[in-house]
Amino acid sequence: MDHFAYRNRSLYCDDVPVAELAAHYGTPLYVYSEATLVHHLKQIQDAFAEAKPIICYSIKANGNLSIARLMGQHGAGFDVTSGGEFYRAMKAGPSDAKIVFAGVGKSDAEIQFALENKVYLFDVESEQELHAIGAVAEKMGVVANVALRVNPDLPPKTHVKTDTSVKGVKFGLDIETVLDVAKGVVGHKNLCVAGLHMHLGSPILSAEPYKQGAEKGVKLITELRKQGHNVTVLNMGGGFGIHYRKQEALHASAFAKEILPAVKETGCQLVLEPGRFIVGNAGILVSRVVFTKETGGKRYVIQDAAMNDLIRPTLYDSFHRIWPVTPKDTVPEQPADYEADIPGTIKQDVVGPVCESGDFLAKARNLPELHRGELLAVFSAGAYGMAMASNYNARCRAAEVLVTGGTHRLIRRRETYTDLVAAEVDCLK
Ligand code: LLP
């Protein structure tokens, strides 16, 4: 469920016409719905309520300060993967927000920064990292709480670039080695192995991997406790899928059904790290058609959003629904199935202005004939959209707007040409 809906052939975000936002802020423009963000967070909080979970919003999906602040205000902690994300979480979150820190390459400086700022748990991804954390903690005279991130070795679940729990990926400790690694730090004065962590991949459209992962987790926790580690936290990561094409995603309760038994059995505090589930369908990217053209027997819609704004189609061949913001009455107001034949449409490639043949948002997509100046909505763009945006081709990054009911606020201004060179040192001038 999201708060982007057509009324009389005009797309609205909550109670604001998207066309009005495009006129006001320009394009390309990211538009987020506060009601949708809160709704999705609440769906997870409710589904897992009996476990009193700590929901650590995965800031990598969308780290905008206003979005992170909103999450904190509604009871979320944060999952971060770099010192920079830690800083964002601290800046936007409440002072007592729980921050978990994953990532395979934490530097000593990042470890120290996290310890100074009361990290809740490090998700440890290698033996060397565990000892590096121990060493930094010793120098600082503190105890670092860590969760061992296990790679539970499950069958492939997602795109090869985002599957994180199949054998051979760089993430986590091999399931066969976790106990040996843990044994090496029994009694360590500056390390407390307080948790077990796994993140299975993203996006996941089945609850089965969570069931299998949780079962493996229970066994490991039992063994870790036998070693003398006081394991009190089970962190099952993020990865819950969302509707990109139709209604293919699961309700949070389907995941809860498979994860909660492990929580009960171990008596652990449950941590979850959802990102996409909360913000993915709470955001759209709005673009404007610059030109149309036909070449090589293909029709192209060239619009002003490009791979630097939304790289997911280029990087993972991801499918994002695209439809005019104010569709004419020659086509359905909103198709039920964007991949089926849609009356009044022709197949077109939706591309951006970047100088790469791989710069596209959709290929052979059913769309009405479009004209210069028309607005398009690219749906499900809230997660890993702006977060992965770049300045490639010296393009200014888009503005971001948060809609709350009938009001809208700028939460990131559009970049300027001056911004593009602001960090550079023009030393030969
Ligand atoms: N926890 C850890 C340790 C993660 O690595 C991730 C995502 C998450 C939580 C959040 O996963 P989510 O709930 O958002 O699925 N750029 C890709 C996705 C990369 C995900 C990386 N890790 C995409 O656009 O599909």
Same domain flag for 51 and 135: yes
* 47 CA to centre of ligand 1 in angstroms: 20
* Domain annotation covers residue 427: no
At 186 the pLDDT is 97
Instruction: Write down which residue in 279, 304, 333 finishes a domain.
Output: 279
pLDDT over 90 at 157, yes or no: no
Which tens digits make up the pLDDT trace of 170-193? Answer: 999 999 999 999 999 999 999 999
Same domain flag for 149 and 267: yes
Can you count the helices (H) and strands (E) in the chain?
12, 21
pLDDT over 90 at 338, yes or no: yes
Query: Do the interacting molecules here have an ipTM over 0.85?
Result: yes
CB 151 within 8 A of CB 181: no
For residue 129, the one-letter residue type is E
CB 48 within 8 A of CB 259: yes
Same domain flag for 56 and 19: no
Atom of ligand 1 nearest to the CA of 277: 13
Arithmetic mean of pLDDT over the chain: 97
Same domain flag for 362 and 327: yes
* Domain annotation covers residue 426: no
Same domain flag for 110 and 151: yes
Q: Is 316 annotated as a binding residue?
A: yes
Which tens digits make up the pLDDT trace of 293-325? Answer: 999 999 999 999 999 999 999 999 999 999 999
Q: In terms of DSSP H, where are the helices of 232-288? A: 252-266, 276-279
* 273 CA to centre of ligand 1 in angstroms: 9
In whole angstroms, give the CA distance from residue 392 to residue 347: 28
Residues touching ligand 1 (Cβ under 6 Å) are 58, 60-61, 79, 102, 162, 199, 202-203, 237-240, 273-277, 312, 316, 383-384
Same domain flag for 38 and 108: yes
Q: DSSP letters along 329-369, please? A: TTS-SS-S-TTS--TT-EEEEEE-SSSSTT-EEEEEEEE--
Length of the chain: 429
Same domain flag for 301 and 187: no
- For 311, other C-beta atoms within 10 Å of its C-beta total 21
* Domain annotation covers residue 8: yes
Q: Is 405 annotated as a binding residue?
A: no
Q: Is 9 annotated as a binding residue?
A: no
Q: Which of 71, 272, 276 to mutate to test the pocket of ligand 1 (most atoms within 8 A of CB)?
A: 276
How does residue 155 score in pLDDT terms, banded at 50, 70 and 90?
A: confident
For residue 130, the one-letter residue type is L
How does residue 156 score in pLDDT terms, banded at 50, 70 and 90?
A: confident
Q: Whole-prediction pTM value?
A: 0.98
In whole angstroms, give the CA distance from residue 41 to residue 56: 10
Q: Which residue out of 13, 56, 355, 427 is catalytically annotated?
A: 355
* Domain annotation covers residue 428: no
The mean pLDDT value for 157-176 works out to 92
Q: DSSP letters along 105-123, please? A: T--HHHHHHHHHTT-SEEE
Instruction: Write down which residue in 233, 263, 279 finishes a domain.
Output: 279
Same domain flag for 365 and 250: no
Measuring from atom 24 of ligand 1, which residue has the nearest CA? 384
Atom of ligand 1 nearest to the CA of 102: 3
* Domain annotation covers residue 139: yes
Q: How many domains does the chain have?
A: 2
* Domain annotation covers residue 231: yes
Same domain flag for 244 and 289: no
At 152 the pLDDT is 94
Phi, psi at 83, each rounded to 5°: -60, -35
For residue 36, the one-letter residue type is T
Q: What percent of the chain has pLDDT over 90?
A: 97
Same domain flag for 398 and 299: yes
* 161 CA to centre of ligand 1 in angstroms: 11
Same domain flag for 236 and 316: no
Task: Assign residue 302 the CATH number of its domain.
Answer: 2.40.37.10
Same domain flag for 223 and 315: no
* 171 CA to centre of ligand 1 in angstroms: 12
* Domain annotation covers residue 254: yes
For residue 245, the one-letter residue type is R
* Domain annotation covers residue 147: yes
Residue 271: beta bridge partners?
54, 235
Q: Is 13 a catalytic residue?
A: no
Q: CB under 8 Å to 429, separation ≥6 — which residues?
A: none
pLDDT over 90 at 17, yes or no: yes
Which tens digits make up the pLDDT trace of 48-86? Answer: 999 999 999 999 999 999 999 999 999 999 999 999 999
Q: Which domain holds residue 357?
A: 4-31+280-421
Atom of ligand 1 nearest to the CA of 123: 3
Instruction: Write down which residue in 230, 248, 279 finishes a domain.
Output: 279
